[in-house]
Amino acid sequence: MKRRVAILISGRGSNMVALIEAAKAENFPAEIVVVISNRADAAGLAKASASGIPTIVIESKPFGKDRAGFEARLQRALDEKNVELICLGGFMRLFTAEFVQRWYGRMLNIHPSLLPCFPGLDPHGQALKAGVKISGATVHFVIPETDAGPIVVQGAVVVADDDTPETLAARVIQIEHQIYPEALRLLAAGRLTLEGDVCKTAGNAASDGTLISPRQVSATSASVKEIPPG
């Protein structure tokens, strides 16, 4: 039996599309049964409808600071669809600790940085300011703290010296579209185990994959000062 999944969005919904596409495969262990947006103007809603996925809009604005009120309405919609797992895809609304606790271990989020680095707003700007040479994206279980929680899958890209937040975001989003379906596949197939703050994956073998950035620095470049080993 496929696990029943709701995707929650607030905007463009490109990760939502990646999840919907992946779930079309016959052997994918989850099905997307509903897309819920907290904004009526979310562009992702039309994309979900075009894929034949039912959509629901629950505007969060009228609830103001009444998070529990919004969540009660959301929970009703999830119950009506017998939702078992939730994927947040650019869902820009914070949850109460109670809602997060209720869905702990069953709710995933994606964030465009290698968490725990650069949570919150403008992660690509934060990464460039920090001068990291490798960045990426993270799918994690949701906990009350924003953009934190047991890490399920990460994917990395190298950062170029001339990257802007926009060029970096354009490469990272490609990674996001690969790792989110993979994370949902692992969760829905029952291959994830939570050990405290750490998520373990059944059948996860050590790999020798290595990413070094910058990979080649010209030894003849005048601006490069070689550091002798040892």
Binding site for ligand GAR (CB under 6 A): 9, 11-15, 44, 89-90, 110-112, 147, 173, 176
CB of 40 vs ligand GAR, minimal distance in Å: 15
Nearest to 192 by CA among 101, 84, 108: 108
Q: Closer to ligand GAR at the Cβ: 90 or 150?
A: 90
CB of 38 vs ligand GAR, minimal distance in Å: 13
Is 177 catalytic? The answer is no
Whole-angstrom Cα distance, residue 91 to residue 76? 18
Name residues whose C-beta falls within 8 Å of residue 152's C-beta, 6 or more positions apart in sequence: 108, 139, 140, 141, 183, 186, 187, 192, 199, 201
Q: Closer to ligand GAR at the Cβ: 12 or 81?
A: 12
Q: Closer to ligand GAR at the Cβ: 110 or 188?
A: 110
User: Per the residue annotation, which of 111, 124, 140, 177 is the catalytic one?
Assistant: 111
CB of 14 vs ligand GAR, minimal distance in Å: 3
Q: Where are the alpha helices (DSSP H) in the chain?
A: 14-23, 44-50, 67-80, 97-102, 123-130, 165-188
Residue nearest to ligand GAR (CB): 90
Matching residue, tokens 């990460």 = 154
CB of 72 vs ligand GAR, minimal distance in Å: 23
Q: Closer to ligand GAR at the Cβ: 3 or 140?
A: 140
Tokens read off for 76: 């009703």
Nearest to 70 by CA among 102, 45, 93: 93
Q: Would you say 45 and 70 are in contact if contact means Cβ atoms under 8 Å apart?
A: no
Which positions are catalytic? 111
